[in-house]
Every structure is written in structure tokens, then in C-alpha cells.
Amino acid sequence: MKRLYYGLGKRKFAEWILLAVFVLFFYGPLFNMLTLSFAGKYEYPDVIPQTYGLKWWDYILSKGQMLESITTSLLLAVVVTVISLLICLPAAYAIARYQFKGRSFVRLSFLLTNAFPKMGIYTAMAVIFYKLNLIGTFTGVVLVHVVNTMMFMVWIPSGAFRTVHIQQEESARDAGASALQVFFKITMPMAWPGIVVASLYTFLGSMEEAQGSLLIGLPNIHTMPSELYGIIMSFPDTAGAVFAVILLIPSVLLLIVFRKYLSAEALSSGFKM
């Protein structure tokens, strides 16, 4: 330790300590979980499993209801993202481009689901959804997920549309392009990074949403996070680890694929009006 300290110099040494603490705190738990998911024999005082294997993967993948929840979750995330794009992008564009009465109010209204206690909003929804026979339906859960991430879907693309100069749109119009052509050929490609980030928020938000799916979706709709609640409570750690790792895969894949769009600036634009 002493040798390291003098060898690296005070500053470098401190940086390495910081890196170690950072990695241990944020990635240690995930790495531990990944190890557990491939455990064979793992008994109480073992720090790491004694033997490894795919035993628990077979176990989880042989359960019909769990497999079903994986398909449900993925399908849900896709449907939610598409619907969200369809209804939110026009709103985002209007907020970015037009000055109209009530603009700030409309923009602010999307803060609602993120500023107020989720549990309160979900129970409020559950009461109404019950009357409308939306409890336990796919549509009901889609609605919950859509409103959950609307703030990102409106605010981030809206910021992105604002950076596209109106002159660029106008010159395309002058050259004879229709309004829709202008949007898809000029505006959308330029606002693309913002739209990608917003879609990621929506897709991953839908993948991880647990409380709303639990309250609105049960007993018919089982998503992966709502299944995981039960698994954590009543299954061995190793089985839970497998299922948690499966739930992790889409997030990690998407983040790697879209990593060039993910800067702190782009991501935090969703939290500012």
C-alpha cells in the first residue's frame, strides 16, 4: 500500500481509490448477481459459488409464466414506445415551434406524473380503470406506462426541434416539399438524437415499471418486474439472480447500441423545461 502510494503519487493514488470505490459500489452488486446466476452449488458461508452451471437458467426458463412475462414486457415496451412517439412528437413539435395561448401550461402538465407520488397517481388511476374495466388489461398497463414517461417524450424532442432552424424548414418548403416531407426529411433527422434519447427513456421506463403494472395489470398481465417481486420474496437468491439478469439484458444492450447519443447533456434535458 505504502509503495503504491509513493509510486503513483498522491493524486494518482487518490484517483485509483476513487475508481475502486466507484466500481465496487455501483458495479459490485451487479457483478455479484451475475456470478450468482451461474451458480451451481452456493451455500451459506460461500463468498462465491463452489460450482458453476446453468442449473438456475434451466429452472427459470422452464417456468411458463416467467417466459410469458418476458414476452409481455418486451411487447409492452415496444407498443408503449410507438404509441408514445405517435402522440408526443406532434405535441413536442407544436410546443417548440408555435406560440399559442396555454403553451406553458400544456408543457408543464407533463411534469405531473413525475412530480407527484407515483403510488398516489396509480391508486387514483386504479379506481377509474376499475369502472372502465381496464384493470388487468394490456391497454390499461400501456396507458400507465405511456403517461409515466410522457415528460421525457415531450420535453426532450421539443428541445431538439427548437435547435432546428426554421429557415431550414422554410427553404425546403420553398423548394416544393410538403409539410410532412419537410418533417420527415429535414426536421426529424436533425432532431434524431433527442428522439432516440426520449425513446430510450420510454422503452426502458416501460421495461422497469413495477408498481403500476402491479396495481393495474394484475391478475392477468404479468410483466418481468412484477414477477420479480414474487421471485425475490419466495425463490432462492440464485433463481432470482437469473431472472434479474434477464431483465437487465435489454437495458445493457440498448445502452451499448445507442451509447453515442447518451451524453449527460442529452439525458438531463428531460428534467428541465
Q: How far apart are CA 39 and CA 55, in angstroms?
A: 8
User: Considering beta carbons, is residue 172 or 243 the nearer one to other proteins?
Assistant: 243
User: Considering beta carbons, is residue 67 or 273 the nearer one to other proteins?
Assistant: 273
Question: By the 8 A CB rule, do 37 and 242 touch?
Answer: yes
Closest residue by Cα to residue 56 from 249, 231, 242, 229: 242
Q: What's the min distance (Å) between Cβ of 65 and other proteins?
A: 17
Q: Is 165 helix (H, G, I), strand (E, B) or coil?
A: coil
User: Considering beta carbons, is residue 166 or 273 the nearer one to other proteins?
Assistant: 273
Q: What's the min distance (Å) between Cβ of 261 and other proteins?
A: 11
Q: How far apart are CA 97 and CA 99, in angstroms?
A: 7
User: Considering beta carbons, is residue 95 or 186 the nearer one to other proteins?
Assistant: 95
User: Considering beta carbons, is residue 66 or 241 the nearer one to other proteins?
Assistant: 241
Q: What's the min distance (Å) between Cβ of 173 and other proteins?
A: 13
Q: What's the min distance (Å) between Cβ of 53 and other proteins?
A: 19
Question: By the 8 A CB rule, do 110 and 154 touch?
Answer: yes
CB atoms within 10 A of CB 25: 9
Give the HSE-up count for residue 228: Cα atoms under 13 Å, Cβ half-sphere: 21
Q: What's the min distance (Å) between Cβ of 190 and other proteins?
A: 18
Q: Is 217 helix (H, G, I), strand (E, B) or coil?
A: helix
